[in-house]
Chains A and B, each alone.
Chain A
């Protein structure tokens, strides 16, 4: 069973609020990823990290930001939430790019 956790699982929040989606893994993986997925749709890579103090933007432009101060923690922040941010956010980690990526159960965000 994968040791990667996302909180909260579900979040409903008002427009303009600042939110942070948490992602933690206990496997000591260097590589971590954030994907955005609309219901029944493909996954879009929005951020990734190769290790502490390393973050890169993914293929899909996102107004969110990430940080990687500790190996096990890769939070995603939205400074001012908008309805267009409504989506599911999936966090993943892997030992290297070429090995299996383990996924959290996701955070389903609704901005009203």
Chain B
């Protein structure tokens, strides 16, 4: 079973509109959750993370995410997007398996912000 599922492969939005990028995780993984952003021809950069504590997590560039244990979700939101937010967004979890822990990624969501 997929450890982390990003439900939308592409999300087009207009500038200044709100956006939500969806992420669901398998209940078999540990609840250490991350969102990363990848700009074209770049490596990945951490947007935010949930390790414990408050279920609403605020990150860089105005993004936030809410950990929902009952729905096993960790959706990423931004109330008003900019052109510069156009990028690929990856949800990631820590997968504990066979005595080891690994950082695994979803398939990514390509966010395109149009003027």
Contacts and interface: CB of A to CB of B under 8 A. Distances in A.
Contacts of A94: 103
A97 B102 contact: yes
Interface in B70-109: 88, 90, 94, 100-108
B45 A43 contact: no
Interface stretch (A12-20, A65-73, A78-86, A99-107): A99-107
Contact of A97 (B90, B101, B105): B101
Given A90-B44, A98-B94, A42 B107 contact: yes
List the 4 shortest-distance A-B pairs measured between CB atoms, nearest first. Answer: A103-B43, A42-B107, A97-B101, A103-B44
B94 A97 contact: yes
Interface of B: 32, 34, 36, 41-46, 49, 51, 88, 90, 94, 100-108, 110
A109 interface: no
19 contacts: A33-B102, A35-B105, A40-B110, A41-B108, A42-B90, A42-B105, A43-B90, A43-B108, A45-B103, A45-B105, A56-B100, A97-B94, A98-B51, A100-B46, A101-B34, A101-B46, A103-B36, A106-B41, A106-B43
Contacts of A33: 102-103
Interface residues of A, number: 24
B76 to A, nearest CB: 16
Nearest to B110: A40
